[in-house]
Each structure stands twice: as structure tokens, then as C-alpha cells.
Amino acid sequence: MPRILLIFILLTTPVFAVEPDEILADAGLEVRAREISKELRCLVCRNENIDSSNAGIAKDLRVLVRERLVAGDSNEQIVDYVVDRYGEFVLLKPRMSLKNLIPWFAGPILFLLGLFFSIKFITKPRQKEAVALTKDEEQRLSDLLGD
């Protein structure tokens, strides 16, 4: 019974795509590489970080990050290098900048505008238009009502 439980525990642990040949000998650098890799988006998988992606470009980016760490770059320098090379799309959490203000605030602004106009439309008093009846319709109505 304990063996089966151990197998299930091992099968439910998260599987990372980092291959053994990518892992750095220096544990401190490897921890930094994992932190950086979790901030970078796989360009093929879209909303998956390169640390857990099996795509070829994700592996190339993981290797690039580790090479830059070994070369002595700081975390910020490595992220800036990757962003310069691939654009800000590679960041899972985009930076707040002037050119990113529209994507950051367009959603909430459009939501608030939609909410405002919906409330205005719902609470707007309905004006009923008076429709004049023709002579034939008036006669028929009076006949139906028995006047």
C-alpha cells in the first residue's frame, strides 16, 4: 500500500520542462535561473512560462538565461536582454509604461462605460407616444366597447 501511495504522490508533483543537462552546477545561479524563467513567457505556448514549457524555443531561452547568469549578468540585465530581443510580449507580467497604458486601462474603462450606459438605459423613463386612431379604428373600438 505505501508503494502505491508513493507512486501517486510522485505522479501528482508538478513536472518541469527543465532538462538535466540545463541545470547549473551552482545552486544559487540555478535558483536565480528558475526565478527569471518563471517571469518569461514561452513564445509558442503563449500563457506558459519557459520554465514549464517543452517547446524548443523555451529550451533555447532557458539555456540563454543560464548562459547570461554564468557570464555574470544580473536578473534585470537578463530580462532586459530577452525583452530587447523578443519584445515585451515575452514578459508574463508586462511593465507599466506609457505605451502600455491603453492595454492596461482599456478593459476597466470600457467596462465602466458599459456599466454607466446600461444603468442609464435601464433607469431612463419610458415616454409613451400618443398614437392617434383613425376614424375606422375609433368606430370599431367603440363598437367593441359597446359605447
Which sequence spans correspond to the domains of the chain?
2-95, 99-145
Q: CA 51, CA 58: separation in Å to the nearest integer? A: 8
> Per-residue DSSP letters for 103-146?
HHHHHHHHHHHHHHHHHHHHHSPPPPPP-PPPHHHHHHHHHHHT
Q: Coil, strand, or helix at residue 40?
A: strand
pTM comes to 0.58
pLDDT tens-place string over residues 77-106: 999 999 999 888 888 888 877 877 887 788
At 17 the pLDDT is 61
Per-residue confidence (pLDDT) for residue 18, from 0 to 100: 66
Residue 67: pLDDT above 60?
yes
Nearest CA to 36 out of 92, 87, 96 is that of: 92
Question: Residues 33-44: what's their mean pLDDT?
Answer: 89
Q: Which residues pair with 41 in a beta bridge?
A: 49
CA angle 33, 17, 12 (to 5 degrees): 115
Quickly state the pLDDT bin for 14 (edges 50, 70, 90): very low
Q: Distance between CA 34 and CA 32 in Å, rounded? A: 5
SS3 for 54? Answer: coil
Q: Quick one: the chain helix, strand, coil %, rounded to 5?
A: 65, 5, 35
2-95 maps to which CATH number?
Answer: 1.10.8.640
